[in-house]
Amino acid sequence: MEQARTYGEIWRAGARRLAEVSGDENEAEASAELLLLHLLGIGKAELLRDLREPVPEALRERWASLLARRAAGEPVQYITGEQYFYGRRFAVAPAVLIPRPETELLAEAVLAAAAEIFERRGGRPLGAVSGRAGGQSPEPAAQEDGGESAAAIRGETALRVLDVGTGSGALAVTLKLERPGWDVTASDLSPAALAVAAGNATALDAQVRFVQGDLLAPFLPGGGHAGERIDVLVSNPPYIPSGDLPDLQPEVREHEPHLALDGGPDGLAPYRRMAAQLGQLAAMPNLVAWEVGIHQAEQAADLLRQTSRWDEIRLIRDYAGIDRHVLALRFS
Q: Identify the CATH number of the domain in which residue 273 sits.
A: 3.40.50.150
User: 18, 52, 72 — which closes off a domain?
Assistant: 72
Q: Is 177 exposed, middle or buried (0-12, 13-18, 19+ CB in 10 A)?
A: buried
Helices (DSSP H) in 121-249: which residue ranges?
A: 150, 170-178, 191-203
Question: Which structural domain range is residue 314 located in?
Answer: 83-329
- Name the pairing type of β-strands 88-91 and 183-188: unpaired
- Total domains, the chain: 2
* Separation between Cα atoms, residue 7 and residue 56, nearest integer Å: 9
Higher-pLDDT residue of 91, 254: 91
* Separation between Cα atoms, residue 182 and residue 127, nearest integer Å: 12
Q: Could you give the 3-state DSSP secondary structure of residue 267?
A: coil
148 in any annotated domain = yes
Q: Are residues 12 and 58 in the same domain?
A: yes
User: 47, 72, 97 — which closes off a domain?
Assistant: 72
137 in any annotated domain = yes
- pTM score, two decimals? 0.87
* Separation between Cα atoms, residue 23 and residue 232, nearest integer Å: 43
pLDDT at residue 123, rounded to an integer:
60
Q: Are residues 101 and 207 in the same domain?
A: yes
* Separation between Cα atoms, residue 280 and residue 244, nearest integer Å: 32
pLDDT, tens digit (0-9, with 9 covering 90-100), for 211-251:
999 999 999 999 999 999 999 999 999 999 999 999 988 88
| Alpha-carbon 117 to chain mean position | 23
197 in any annotated domain = yes
Q: Are residues 185 and 217 in the same domain?
A: yes
2 in any annotated domain = no
User: 72, 93, 126 — which closes off a domain?
Assistant: 72
Q: Are residues 102 and 234 in the same domain?
A: yes
Q: Are residues 197 and 284 in the same domain?
A: yes
pLDDT at residue 148, rounded to an integer:
38
Q: Which long-range contacts (CB under 8 A, 24 or more apart) does 251-254 make?
A: 251/73, 251/74, 251/75, 252/75, 254/73
In this prediction, residues 296-324 reach a mean pLDDT of 96
Q: Are residues 39 and 68 in the same domain?
A: yes
pLDDT, tens digit (0-9, with 9 covering 90-100), for 79-131:
999 999 999 999 999 999 999 999 999 999 999 999 998 778 766 443 333 44
pLDDT at residue 3, rounded to an integer:
65
Q: Could you give the 3-state DSSP secondary structure of residue 116?
A: helix
1 in any annotated domain = no
pLDDT at residue 127, rounded to an integer:
37
pLDDT, tens digit (0-9, with 9 covering 90-100), for 13-60:
999 999 999 888 999 999 999 999 999 999 999 999 989 999 998 899
Q: Are residues 147 and 246 in the same domain?
A: yes
78 in any annotated domain = no
Q: Are residues 156 and 178 in the same domain?
A: yes
pLDDT at residue 129, rounded to an integer:
38
195 in any annotated domain = yes
89 in any annotated domain = yes
pLDDT, tens digit (0-9, with 9 covering 90-100), for 133-180:
443 333 333 333 333 333 443 344 568 999 999 999 999 999 999 999
Q: Are residues 100 and 151 in the same domain?
A: yes
* Separation between Cα atoms, residue 26 and residue 107, nearest integer Å: 28
Q: Are residues 60 and 166 in the same domain?
A: no
Q: Are residues 191 and 254 in the same domain?
A: yes
Q: Are residues 56 and 92 in the same domain?
A: no
Q: Specify whether the CB–CB gap between 191 and 259 falls below 8 A.
A: no
Q: Specify whether the CB–CB gap between 230 and 237 falls below 8 A.
A: no
Percent of the chain with pLDDT over 70: 87
